[in-house]
Amino acid sequence: MQSITSNQNKRVKEWRKMQSKKGRLASGQYLIEGWHIVNEAIKHGKQLKALIVTDATFLTQLSIDEGEVDTYLITPEVAKHISTTETPQGIFAVLETADYHESIPEKLGGSWLMLDNVQDPGNIGTMVRTADAAGMNGIVFGEGTVDIYNPKVVRSMQGSQFHIRLYTGNLNDWLTAFKKHNVPTYGTELNERALSYDEIASTKQFALIMGNEGNGVSKELLDKTDQNLYIPMNGEAESLNVAVATGILIFHFIK
């Protein structure tokens, strides 16, 4: 176990750089932090490129073979430096960003969620967890949507990236591919020009696009879907939170 006490250490600088998309693209790696998500990564057999702790005894509480992973003991100051939380738990791991699947699978089927320019990392993480809970096949992060490995997205996903496949891509291309494979595509609109969602029968095959918190799904994509849906609202609230709307729609579909 290597001990690191300085924020100027070369490795610490590398880990810190993983907070930015540029840094993650350069290294092909990202940092996870906290007991729950590190345990989830180990449970799902992800290869840890490094395991970083503020207390050597932490290692005994993890189901890992110490010989197979590079381990580092850091000070609380270093933990604070590489963490994006205010009170780091003192346990981190480095993973490969291997889940940046950029090409569309040759066979497409089942249920899919597409994110068009969604901005709030907390919303994105909650949407990924919801799709995961529903047992969906995959999620596509469209251009303009916050990066999959943004530290706040990673924290909010709570390990769902180990359960459900996450893709990055052009949603126009994905829509074309879904059509080719006869997967019905649905956009969501905030107004009643669309069809009420509960007029669609539950189904195992669908691709649903959720949009930006303020502006919804882009017109270009709405024009290309098989059908656009809205959620009827009897009350006065102007809109539902996008993650709540996602839950209502997905769980209606899979029912």
Please report whether residue 131 would count as binding a second copy according to CB under 8 A: yes
Please report whether residue 255 would count as binding a second copy according to CB under 8 A: yes
Task: Tell me which residues in 48-107 interact with a second copy (CB under 8 A).
Answer: none
Q: With residue 131 as reference, give the H or E element that holds it.
A: helix 121-133
Q: Which residues are 4's β-sheet partners? A: 74
**Whole-number Cα distances in Å, 122 to 15, 79, 126:** 22, 23, 6
Give exposure, 89-116, as e/b (b: 16+ Cβ within 10 Å): bbbbbbbebebbeeebeeebeebbbbbb
Cα separation, 180 vs 170, in Å, equals 16
Q: Is 102 left (phi over 0), alpha (psi -120 to 50) or beta?
A: alpha
Please report whether residue 244 would count as binding a second copy according to CB under 8 A: yes
Cα separation, 24 vs 129, in Å, equals 22
Min CB(254)–a second copy separation in Å: 7
Min CB(56)–a second copy separation in Å: 29
Q: Which of 76, 105, 109, 122 binds a second copy (CB under 8 A)?
A: 122
Min CB(208)–a second copy separation in Å: 14
Cα separation, 168 vs 162, in Å, equals 16
Name the nearest CA neighbour of 95 among 185, 36, 33, 155: 33
Task: Tell me which residues in 191-220 interact with a second copy (CB under 8 A).
Answer: 198
Min CB(236)–a second copy separation in Å: 4
Q: Which is nearer to a second copy, 53 or 148 (CB)?
A: 148
Taking the mean position of all CA atoms in its chain, how far away is CA 229?
24
Task: Tell me which residues in 136-175 interact with a second copy (CB under 8 A).
Answer: 136, 158, 160, 163-164
Select from 26-34, 56-64, 127-135, 222-230 the region that touches a second copy (CB under 8 A).
Answer: 127-135
Q: Which of 130, 150, 218, 228 binds a second copy (CB under 8 A)?
A: 130
Sorted by sequence, the CB contacts under 8 Å of residue 170 that are 6+ apart come out as 142, 143
Q: With residue 166 as reference, give the H or E element that holds it.
A: strand 165-169
Q: How many residues bind to a second copy according to rule CB under 8 A?
A: 35
Q: Which is nearer to a second copy, 59 or 254 (CB)?
A: 254
Min CB(156)–a second copy separation in Å: 9
Please report whether residue 233 would count as binding a second copy according to CB under 8 A: yes
Min CB(23)–a second copy separation in Å: 24
Min CB(136)–a second copy separation in Å: 7
Please report whether residue 251 would count as binding a second copy according to CB under 8 A: yes
Enumerate binding residues for a second copy (CB under 8 A).
122, 126, 129-136, 158, 160, 163-164, 198, 231, 233-241, 243-248, 251-252, 254-255
